[in-house]
Amino acid sequence: MPRLILLLALIGGLWYWWSVVKGLSPEERRSFLWRSGFWVVLGLSVVLVASGRMHWLGAGIAALIPLTKTLFTLGLRALPFLRVLSRFKSTPSQFRTKSLLVTVNFANKQMSGEVLAGEFTGKSLSELTPEELNSLAADLRTNDRESFVLLNAYRMRGGDSSQESSDDYRPSGASDLSNDECYKILGLEINASKEDVLKAHKRLIQRLHPDRGGSDYLAAKINAAKDKLS
């Protein structure tokens, strides 16, 4: 008798389920079928666990299977949002001269540098003592004016306000920059779109504009990179 009642309840449930399915639109039907599959698998898993025919861990895994499509769909819907967020990611800018390579993260105002030529070749600027930095600056002031100005920008943004002003120096124009250098200055991937170039330039120049206490030299290089690429 209990089995007969259970069978009748099952038949009634299937009839009701089918009547609901027929009344749904194609889009609603697909969603309803996936939800139904989830509950069927979950119900069977509970019954098998209760009867000792399945371990509870297996039941949990089985219950997750119908959710994979939902998770995949949510992932696809989130992809455009993640792409938008990636645009706000700040890639450090690189400034290269004959003697120095300086990397600037304008988002957190962190700077790092490497000596490319001279007595301290291969050393990072952070490794050098104040005396060594002064020695390097003296050498660059005589032999490599642009590197000297870049070193001053590094030291001033690092909090060393004792450096002499270099406002009388103006870097070379856009024609002397390679496309690769321009992309690195703006913190962009190679062959970024013109729109990305303009956005990067606007973002960087706002963070570094001389009127806000920034470096004339770095601002001029950023402007030159934008002019070259756009």
Are 35 and 133 found together in one domain?
no
Are 180 and 199 found together in one domain?
yes
CB atoms within 10 A of CB 132: 15
Are 58 and 100 found together in one domain?
no
Helix (H) or strand (E) run with residue 100 in it:
strand 100-105
Are 154 and 215 found together in one domain?
yes
> CATH number of the domain that 214 lies in?
1.10.287.110
**Exposed / middle / buried, residue 115 (Cβ in 10 Å: 0-12, 13-18, 19+):** buried
What are 202-229's pLDDT values in tens digits? 888 887 765 555 678 888 899 999 999 9
Cβ 180 vs Cβ 165: under 8 Å: no
Q: Which of 86, 104, 128 is the last residue of a domain?
A: 86
Measuring CA to CA, which residue among 72, 73, 124 is closest to residue 100? 124
Beta bridge partners of 48: none
- The Cα 64–Cα 81 span in angstroms is 25
What are 62-86's pLDDT values in tens digits? 555 555 555 555 555 555 544 544 4
Are 78 and 122 found together in one domain?
no
- Please give the residue range of the domain that contains residue 52: 2-86
What are 119-167's pLDDT values in tens digits? 999 999 999 999 999 999 999 999 999 899 899 888 876 555 454 444 4
Are 49 and 160 found together in one domain?
no
Are 48 and 103 found together in one domain?
no
Beta bridge partners of 102: 95, 113
Task: Pick the range with the lowest mean pLDDT from 24-28, 109-113, 173-177, 194-198.
Answer: 173-177
Per the structure, how many domains does the chain have? Answer: 2
pLDDT (0 to 100) of residue 143: 92
- The Cα 136–Cα 118 span in angstroms is 8
